[in-house]
Structure 1
Amino acid sequence: MDLDRIEQLLERYWECETTLEEEKELKKFFNSGKVPAKWQSVAPLFQYYEEEKKSGKLDGLFDEKIITEIQTQGPPEASAAGKGKVIKLFYNIARVAAVGLILITATYFVREEYINKKDTMDPYLADTFEDPKVAYEETKKALMMISKNFNKGRKEVRKVGVFSEAQDKVKDTEAL
């Protein structure tokens, strides 16, 4: 056989671009026993198929044997097929019931916990003002205090911004 052709076929084989005829040609070459040393590592791949055929485990009639075996067994009994569906239905219903039971139990315990702790709740979470106008004024006062502190912080950030601009100018002049 032409070794250049075999080399081309091998390259195409590794790229998954060979036809069945070309693969048969490769198998024939590697099973001939005249394999060059550079392809000795590849030879077992192609020799494997031939060895399996010779071992008799899977011959050419394997598919036909399996198909005839399946056909001779016939369809399974109708009662057995229906029984499996009933069991699956039962398991699915049991799963749904278990999930429902877990949700109901969890809801019950969370509700009980909330009712028991309602009296001892953190005073910051409870209403502290009876008059809505007083609550509004207190909230307004707290928000004004936060706003004032944010404005102080903004002034400090401006100072940092001026420093950063000066630093950038120095870097630009050094780069020139």
Structure 2
Amino acid sequence: MELDKIEKLLEKYFDATTTVAEEEILREYFSNENIPAHLEQYAPMFQYFSFAKEERFTKQLPLKTRNTFYKWASVAAVAVFMIGFYFYDPSPEPVSLADQYTEEEIASAQEALALLAMNFNKGTEQLYHLEEFERNTNKFLTKE
């Protein structure tokens, strides 16, 4: 009867549904020496858990940190960043076209833009004819 109970508790343990009391029953059972052969493989695991429960950390922990250099370095870095952010001027001085390009390049660009504007105006004249056509067809379709 007890063996069936232990097997059910093991099944619940591996499904992660046991309570703390049930786990304590398993630890006590596997701390005994007369364990059935098919359950002996679980004995070292539960014996380790019992041993690990008794372990304590005994080293002294330093309460004061010794890395004051890093603290002051980070403060200095933030200060330098803030000063740089305050004096940063994101807008460059405006540059005239005469400073960047030669007179010949400017004249060539003006000629190309004039040609583009002329061709663009030809295309817009055709749109005027389309608008007139649409207006007349709408008169006949809506019968105004």
TM norm structure 2: 0.48
TM norm structure 1: 0.41
Which is higher, the Rg of structure 1 or of structure 2? Answer: 2
Q: Which has the higher contact order (CA 8 A, sep 6+)?
A: 2
